[in-house]
Structure 1
Amino acid sequence: MTEPAAYLPVLQTGRWFAHLPPDFAQPLLAMAHLRQLAPGEVLFLRGDAPCGLYAVVRGAINISGTGGRADEARAAMLTRLEPPHWFGEISVFDNSARTHDAHAAEASTLLQIPHEPLQAWLTAHPQHWHALALLLTDKLRTAFVAIEELALLPAGQRLARRLVMMAEGYGQWTAEGQSRRVIGISQEQLSLMLAISRQTTNQILKDLEARALVRVHRGEVEILDLAALRATCY
């Protein structure tokens, strides 16, 4: 049976974990349990009790939410988390219910640091709350950027910027200039993520294809020229 420590090389590709002091990183790994999720399987839902801190080591997790009246509910996809992303830290800090839904986008493996053992360990070692806070503030910076873009940028620039951010792992990798060529996301998911129509999303992607910046496949967007795509964001 695979142990959490087997995924240490994956975790170390992430900027946050790679910069943790050993006296925090090692206990985290020791507390970790492996979670296997099938495509579409629920990890947690909005309102669920805290269940711990998670790291994606294989596959992908979609973070989403719904709003409005039951008969007119609308969905929003906030983000797609791939290795080596950590998430779930909000409930670690405030001990409150989950704020959004988390589903497996595909067959996925997670490391789960259970809530109660983590809380007990941090109570005994309070100096490490600061390191956990850095994970939270990094997400907050990304959220502020997304809010600003929603208010100021046209749909085409927002979509291009989101593709660049996803290709670059939202800045979470340790390696300078690391990026992925293929992003596992559908046009429908992109439209939900950016709060634009499916038709508008399709038109923008067709324009980017015509300029040889991306190639759209079923459930995927292939980045052909990341530098040129980045240039269209401004």
Structure 2
Amino acid sequence: MDMQVWRSRLESGQWFSHLPVHLQDSLLAAARVRRLSSGQLLFKRGDPPCGLYAVLEGSVRIGAVSEQGKEALLSLVESPHWFGEISLFDGQPRTHDAFGVGQCTLLHIPQAALLALLDEQPVYWRQVALLMSHKLRLTFVSLEQLSLMPAPARLAHRLLMIAEGYGEFDPPRRVLQLPQEQLASMLSLSRQTTNQILKDLQGQGILGLSYGEIEILNLEKLRATCQI
């Protein structure tokens, strides 16, 4: 597919669409398209930095597995989100594992090419910092919710965040391709607790549930649930 087609997809996202045109052009000129099959590893915790990625199709699962084999799912990165910027700043190894979910298409800007661009135009570091600061804000929000919110409110808020693409989508999506076990892992809840909350929301006419899919039927009532 032509790079300009991917460009239009990336421009639907807040971060890329607000970049200076010259920086957009430079990123696309350095980029290469990479495809992952479902479950294929992109990088694992401890791997050396390999650059910046954007999801074009499908999604990427970011998480970690303990020595006991328990998996923590931090996020599902979907189009048109970018990820991988932390190792760009500090040059340290990857902090988590990244796997393709379904057939996944990524845009990859190699570390060396990106650092060369930023050395040539240091003013662009601020743009990359904005990408990381947005995620840092979301992390603080999630930590606060984990400490203060009851489980139903946390679940409702996370569904809203996913529906809104963590600030990328307006209006929010109504149908989320999200298995219940993945949602449970994101929220550090048991699958049983997650299933019960979802069924309660379904009973109130707020959500519709089907295999691997959650449909938001009443957006305002879901927002109200976040305030419980």
TM-score (norm 1): 0.95
Identity percentage of aligned residues: 49
How big is the shift at 1:79?
Answer: 0.6
Q: Which amino acid aligns with 1:219?
A: G
How big is the shift at 1:171?
Answer: 0.4
Give secondary structure in 2 for the equivalent of 1:107.
strand
Give secondary structure in 2 for the equivalent of 1:179.
coil
The aligned counterpart of 2:214 is 221
Equivalent in 198, 219, 224 of residue 205 of structure 1: 198
Counterpart mapping for 1:1-234 below 5 A: 2-67=1-66, 70=67, 72-173=68-169, 177-234=170-227
Q: Which amino acid aligns with 1:28?
A: L
Give secondary structure in 1 for the equivalent of 2:102.
coil
Q: Contact 1:52–1:88 (CA<8 Å) still a contact in 2?
A: yes
Give secondary structure in 2 for the equivalent of 1:80.
strand
How big is the shift at 1:158?
Answer: 0.4
Number of paired residues?
A: 227
Q: Distance in 2 between matches of 1:226 and 1:111?
A: 32
Which deviations, in whole Å up to 9, do the C-alpha atoms of 1:99-147 show, x marking residues without a partner? 0111111111110001111111111111100011000000000000000
How big is the shift at 1:6?
Answer: 2.1
Give secondary structure in 2 for the equivalent of 1:105.
strand
Deviating above 4 A after TM superposition, structure 1's stretches of 4 or more consecutive aligned residues are none
Q: Distance in 1 between matches of 2:26 and 2:47?
A: 26
Which deviations, in whole Å up to 9, do the C-alpha atoms of 1:28-84 show, x marking residues without a partner? 0111100111111111111111111000111111111123xx3x2321100111111
How big is the shift at 1:179?
Answer: 1.2
Q: Contact 1:34–1:109 (CA<8 Å) still a contact in 2?
A: yes
Q: Which amino acid aligns with 1:86?
A: W
Gaps of 5+ in 2: none
TM-score (norm 2): 0.97
Q: Contact 1:4–1:32 (CA<8 Å) still a contact in 2?
A: no
Give secondary structure in 2 for the equivalent of 1:106.
strand
When the two chains are superposed, the root-mean-square deviation of aligned CA atoms in Å is: 1.0
Give secondary structure in 1 for the equivalent of 2:55.
strand
How big is the shift at 1:228?
Answer: 1.3
How big is the shift at 1:219?
Answer: 1.0
Q: Distance in 1 between matches of 2:12 and 2:220?
A: 22
